[in-house]
Amino acid sequence: MNILETTIKARELFSEFELCRLQEQETQKLAERLENKKITIAVIGQFKRGKTTLINTILGSELLPVGIVPITAAITRIEYADPGAVKAAEAAVKTEPTATVYFTNGLSEEVPAADLHEYISEQENHDNERGVAEVELLTDADFLKGGLTLVDTPGVGSVHEQNSKSAMDFARESDGVIFMISVDSPLNQIEVDFLRKVRKFAGKFYFVVNKIDRVDEEELAEYMDYCRSLIVGIMDLDDDEAKAIKLLPVSARKGTGVEELTELIREDLLTRGAEIMERSVGLKLLEILNNTRTQIASYREVLKMAPNVFNRRFKEMSLLLHNQREQIGNLEDGQYMRARLNEEKAFLTRKVRELFGIEYYYYVDRGEAAELMRRDEYAAELTAVYDELESTINSIFMYKEENAYAVARRIEDLNILIHEMRKLTRQIERELK
Ligand SMILES: Nc1nc2c(ncn2[C@@H]2O[C@H](COP(=O)(O)OP(=O)(O)OP(=O)(O)O)[C@@H](O)[C@H]2O)c(=O)[nH]1
Ligand SMILES: [Mg+2]
């Protein structure tokens, strides 16, 4: 048994349960990640530690904006592109390589890399008023060859963290984390809290101590000792793990120590890439299982809800759906954007959570958000969305014809699911040891 097999087993288990559609998709994605072997490493740390400067130095170009005030306002994923392809694109449009900006409403836009600062710097996209969700940049840097994705994140604890997907959310999606601290400030509570939370999610950590050009050798040695003992405590490491932990002093600006870092990562990926990936997927699988247990607990609560409470909420939901359907009749003629449909889906998800305390997700494909739809197409899809939700709440709660026996069976199904998930959880925990 290995993590891939366990992931597939989890997906099969979820596929048997109507209410685990989302988990089925998530585990499917995890299995694909293991098969594609593409590793994601995120650079994370408090604002102004020099994360973006480090990435620029690693990539050997000033692709991303850096600055003295909090700068990075959006997650930026950087991937390798074949130089041939990049050059061909350049030749075709006679500009810099382009990046793709994804917006929170699902739309996306191609922009020249040179204009990226308009979207990802806080100064030019204040409070993320442009609604940027994520940016994807393709470049031919050697370091990314072989399928490594490097990710720049907004500083932890900065005001902008709240405006887009946070570094924390992103740490959940990464396989490795470069955690950046710098000699000009002792490790503070925000960093300590963040590390405590994030240590559960990443398969591999690199601790980088930046701005060493600002201190002399003696001061640096003192700072390194101080950080090491703090990190060992926070990460809850035993003696062997503590010895294995790497703390790398660098000057991202001057380039000192950066090659040691990239060499170390390259070596790790070559020799233990699969292991890092499996560890990361195993941890994510554990998180999915834990969250599912919480979700099931709330389904059980719904099944046990006092009939009058449930009836009231069910009626409220039905009324809401009825009203939404009425509005379809009042739609004006013209073009509708798929993004508007996505907004309606998000609204319904919130409503279900509010009324029944359960997570009901729709599939939203951000790639298609800009698609224009005719009024009748839009109306038809909207109707399908309402139908789907209605049939789900009807079937999951079996409100109308449900008898005590059916409810008991349903609770028993959930118990079986919980039992199976416990087994899987133990298996993963063993494999991660
Ligand atoms: N002296 C010195 N300054 C550095 C170094 N690396 C970065 N800086 C400076 O630190 C400031 C912050 O750098 P950024 O790379 O924007 O930091 P960041 O962590 O990406 O910041 P946010 O995106 O706001 O979270 C800039 O003024 C950089 O020039 C370094 O190695 N030495
Ligand atoms: Mg930055």
Per-residue pLDDT band at 125 (split at 50, 70, 90): confident
Does residue 326 share a domain with residue 240?
Answer: no
Does residue 209 share a domain with residue 305?
Answer: no
| pLDDT for position 88 | 57
249: pLDDT strictly greater than 60: yes
Domain-located, residue 215: yes
> Span 91-117, mean pLDDT?
79
Domain-located, residue 3: no
| Ligand 1 nearest-atom number relative to CA 69 | 24
Domain-located, residue 294: yes
85: pLDDT strictly greater than 70: no
143: pLDDT strictly greater than 50: yes
CATH number of the domain to which 90 belongs:
3.40.50.300
Least reliable range by pLDDT among 130-134, 226-230, 360-364: 360-364
Cα four-point dihedral sign 353, 356, 359, 362: negative
| Cβ neighbours of 209 (radius 10 Å) | 23
The C-alpha angle 22, 26, 31, rounded to 5 degrees, equals: 145
Q: Residue ranges of the alpha helices (H) in 156-306?
A: 167-173, 189-198, 217-234, 239-244, 258-304
Of 197, 184, 177, 246, residue with least CA distance to 47: 184
Ligand 1 centre to CA of 48 (Å) is 5
Cα four-point dihedral sign 104, 118, 161, 246: positive
> Span 139-163, mean pLDDT?
82
> Span 393-407, mean pLDDT?
62
Cα Dmax for the chain: 77
Does residue 115 share a domain with residue 208?
Answer: yes
Domain-located, residue 178: yes
| pLDDT for position 73 | 80
34: pLDDT strictly greater than 50: yes
| pLDDT for position 93 | 47
Ligand 2 centre to CA of 137 (Å) is 15
Does residue 126 share a domain with residue 56?
Answer: yes
Does residue 332 share a domain with residue 213?
Answer: no
Does residue 226 share a domain with residue 83?
Answer: yes
> Span 209-223, mean pLDDT?
95
Residue with tokens 């703390």: 247
| pLDDT for position 97 | 62
Per-residue pLDDT band at 84 (split at 50, 70, 90): low
Ligand 2 centre to CA of 166 (Å) is 13
Token code pair at residue 23: 């988990």
Neighbours of ion ligand 2 (CB under 5 A): 51-52, 71-72
Domain-located, residue 265: no
Domain-located, residue 323: yes
300: pLDDT strictly greater than 70: yes
> Span 224-250, mean pLDDT?
88
Task: Write out the residue range of the structural domain in which residue 195 sits.
Answer: 39-256
- The Cα–Cα gap between 226 and 186 comes to 9
Does residue 332 share a domain with residue 233?
Answer: no
Does residue 186 share a domain with residue 56?
Answer: yes
Per-residue pLDDT band at 394 (split at 50, 70, 90): confident
| Ligand 1 nearest-atom number relative to CA 252 | 31
- Average pLDDT over all residues of the chain: 84
163: pLDDT strictly greater than 60: no
Domain-located, residue 273: no
| Among candidate residues 236, 256, 276, the one where a domain is terminated | 256
| Among candidate residues 201, 236, 256, the one where a domain is terminated | 256
Does residue 245 share a domain with residue 304?
Answer: no
The helix/strand/coil state of 207 is strand
Does residue 303 share a domain with residue 201?
Answer: no
| pLDDT for position 95 | 44
Per-residue pLDDT band at 170 (split at 50, 70, 90): confident
Domain-located, residue 280: no
Per-residue pLDDT band at 412 (split at 50, 70, 90): confident
Pairing of strands 148-152, 132-139: unpaired
> Span 216-230, mean pLDDT?
93
Of 417, 348, 303, residue with least CA distance to 23: 417
Q: How many domains does one find in the chain?
A: 2
Q: Could you tell which of 48, 152, 183 is best to mutate to test the pocket of ligand 1, judged by most ligand atoms within 8 Å of the CB?
A: 48
Does residue 339 share a domain with residue 422?
Answer: yes
Q: Which among 128-132, 136-140, 214-218 has the top mean pLDDT?
A: 214-218
Least reliable range by pLDDT among 79-83, 327-331, 367-371: 367-371
Per-residue pLDDT band at 264 (split at 50, 70, 90): very high
pTM, whole model, 2 decimals?
0.79
- The Cα–Cα gap between 73 and 162 comes to 9
> Span 405-415, mean pLDDT?
74
| Residue ranges lining ligand 1, Cβ < 6 Å | 47-53, 66-68, 70-72, 154-155, 158, 210-211, 213-214, 251-253
Over the stretch 310-348, which tens digit does the pLDDT of each residue have?
A: 888 888 998 999 999 999 888 888 788 888 888 898 899
Per-residue pLDDT band at 94 (split at 50, 70, 90): very low
| pLDDT for position 101 | 94
User: What's the Cα-to-Cα distance from 344 to each of 28, 341, 378, rounded to whole Å?
Assistant: 26, 5, 12
Q: Could you tell which of 61, 121, 158, 253 is best to mutate to test the pocket of ligand 1, judged by most ligand atoms within 8 Å of the CB?
A: 253
| pLDDT for position 178 | 95
Per-residue pLDDT band at 218 (split at 50, 70, 90): very high
Does residue 201 share a domain with residue 252?
Answer: yes
- The Cα–Cα gap between 7 and 24 comes to 10
Ligand 2 centre to CA of 48 (Å) is 7
- The Cα–Cα gap between 58 and 77 comes to 14
